[in-house]
Structures are given as C-alpha cells and as structure tokens.
Structure 1
Amino acid sequence: MEEKDQYIIRQETMALLPCDAEDGSLKTFVVEENKTILIAKTPFEIIRDSCNYFGVTYSGRKKGAVAMGYKSMPPICICSELGIYFFPLMSELHRNCIWLAHPHCRNYTETDNGVLVHLTHGYKIRIPVNLNVFKAKVHRTAQYSYQMLGRVSQFRSAGYGSAVSEEQSASRLMVNERGTYYID
C-alpha cells in the first residue's frame, strides 16, 4: 500500500478513515476511486489542509455552514468549484471521526451494527453509526451543497471579456480632480 506524509482532497477522494499506527499515533486511510493510501496525518488535518490548499480556512468553511443553519457537525465544502463536499460522522475532533465525500455516497443499507455505505466504483465501507443519523447527515449535506450551488450560480457571469453593449460603451467612467469617479 502506498504511504504519504501529505494529501490534498480531490474529486476522486471518497472517504477518510482513521487508522491507529503502531506507535499510537493516528493516521488516515484515504479511499480514492481506484486505490487506498495511508497518510501520516489525521482525517481532520487532511480536511483542514485541503481547505487551506483551496484558499479558505476550515474555520471559515465551518462558520459559513453554521451561518446557513447547519449548526452541529456541519458538512464542509472543501472546494465549491470542484463540487467537493465532505461530512463528518461525529465531532471532527473525535479520534474515530470518519469523513465521507457526499458525491460518492451512492446508497446505504442498515446492518446489525451500523450502516454499509455503497460508494462509487463498487466500494463498500461498514461504519458504526445509526441508519437514521447517517441518513440525516447525507440529506443535510445534499441540501447544503444545493444551497451553495444556488448561491454561487446566481452570481456567475456568461464570461469575462464578453461584448460590451452600446449603452455600456456610451458611458465612460472618468476620474475628477478629487479622485472620485463620474460618468461622462
């Protein structure tokens, strides 16, 4: 199995699973679409570092989700442009916290001691959580990602450098002697 010191979440990242190392430290099994990698960081550190990589802080992402009404253990948008949304199955600081990528959760079934999560590419993970709790987390992450998409899409433009209309070209912004602007 491949081992690394660093890891940045990408679209093919499906799950972050905590793993006890022989020395007692906590590492992470990163489950990707076609492989599993052992990373010498905790799942939370990978989430935090990935947020930072994409230009935001984990704290900022969490505060944003809370401001949108997702108060307890909110889903986290790692990168809205790439559609990467993860949700924790318990408090993010808990040693056994599992993080799942919402876009990869295809189905789930109840088992005797938890839930069997069916991910993309036929991968299955058994997780020790109540089915109703899991359903609620999946549904609220779907709602959160839908709300984020709606908020972002209303501000998307057709593109930079598009043709200027006659009305726009007729009016020119000019600087006056005080350093403020007026329309000519």
Structure 2
Amino acid sequence: MKLKQIEEYEVNPFTMFIKPIVYGSKIYSEIIEVEDEFLSPFKPLDIIRNSCEYYGCDYEGRRNGTKQLVGYAHKIPIAIDPTNRIFFFPTTSPNRQECIWISHEHVKKPVRINPQETLILFNNNQSFELPVSCSSITSQLERTSYLRTKLMQRIEHNERKSFYLMQRPKSLEASEESFEYGKKKMKDKH
C-alpha cells in the first residue's frame, strides 16, 4: 500500500502505531491506522507531543502526571486523551530515533519471533513485525494497563462523588418545626 503524505496529523481513536522511517536524510513517521496508512514529515515524538496539545494538555504535563500517578520514570506510557481511551506507549526511550509509539487500545497480543523481534496482532486482525523484544512489549502493555486503570478509577471516583453531591437529599430537618419557601410550617403532632 502506498503511503499518503500528510502535513498535519493528530493521534485519534483509529491510530494503531507510529514508527520512524528514514525518508531521504530525515526521519519521518509512518502512521498506521485501522484502515489507512500515512507518511508525515514529523518525527513520532513530535506527533505525540502535538497530539497531547490537540487534546488540551502538553506532553511534559502528561509525562509528569503519569510519574506522579504510577511512579514510572522511564519509557512512560502517555494518556493522550483518556476520555477517548487514547493511551500510547513507547518501545524505547522516546528520545531515541528508533522509538515506535503503539496504541494500547488496538493491541490484541504480541507474539515472539526471536529475541529482538515481535509480531504484534492488532484487534482488526492486521499484524506487524516490529524490532522490539516481546518481553519489552508485554511489559509496556502491562504498564499502560496500570496507568489506564488508575486514571479510570480516579475519573469514576469523581463521577460518583459528583453524582452523590447532585442527588443527595435536602438537609435533614432536626427541629420540630420546618420552614418551606420562607413560610413557617407546623409538623403534625400526635
């Protein structure tokens, strides 16, 4: 399939992975979506950074948030847009030229080819060989799952709290007399 060249790209729910590709003397990105493939003149990390900003947060803020939430310091998964379940993980240090970014949502399972290569099966039944060990991919999948779980727990906790605050009963009446809309109302005496 011939790659469509694009100028701008934001990671979206259909993005499966972004890998670096040498194009002339520069590093470009090959972007694989569920039903399409693109070539971008930007490096994978630049696309991840721009996508974080597109969804309202900067990359460093997402990195720092992940560090605080789950304690990871290296090869940190990024919650690009948690509300749309867009979580990506790097295959190596994001600053390394060969780093590939993979969407957690689309991975069905990794299959070991040899110590340095993994076949990743995606949910749409496509598969791609990537030059990364299977143990590294498995570890990154687990780390990203943990991040997703912790973030979703916090989001759901806050939603439950908000629901309770909005649905709680009016103040319980402690006295024998009550007031309704500023008028005094007498309670029944039995």
Same fold (TM over 0.5): yes
Q: How does 1:1-184 map to 2 (within 5 A)?
A: 1-22=3-24, 24-68=25-69, 69-112=71-114, 113-156=116-159, 157-158=162-163, 165-167=169-171
Q: Normalization by structure 1: what TM-score? A: 0.84
Map Cα deviations across residues 48-73 of structure 1 (whole Å, 9 max, x no partner): 00000111010000011111211111
Distance 2:98 2:112 in 1: 20
Map Cα deviations across residues 138-169 of structure 1 (whole Å, 9 max, x no partner): 1111111111100111111349xx6785439x
Show structure 2 runs of 5+ residues with no match: 173-178, 180-190
Q: Which residue is 1:177 aligned to?
A: none
Q: Which residue is 1:173 aligned to?
A: none
Q: What is the aligned-residue identity percentage?
A: 24
Distance 2:168 2:154 in 1: 26
Q: Normalization by structure 2: what TM-score? A: 0.82
Distance 1:18 1:47 in 2: 12
Q: Matched residue pairs, number?
A: 167
Runs of 4 or more consecutive aligned structure 1 residues displaced over 2 Å after TM superposition = 162-168
Larger radius of gyration between Structure 1 and Structure 2: 2
Aligned alpha-carbon RMSD (Å): 2.0
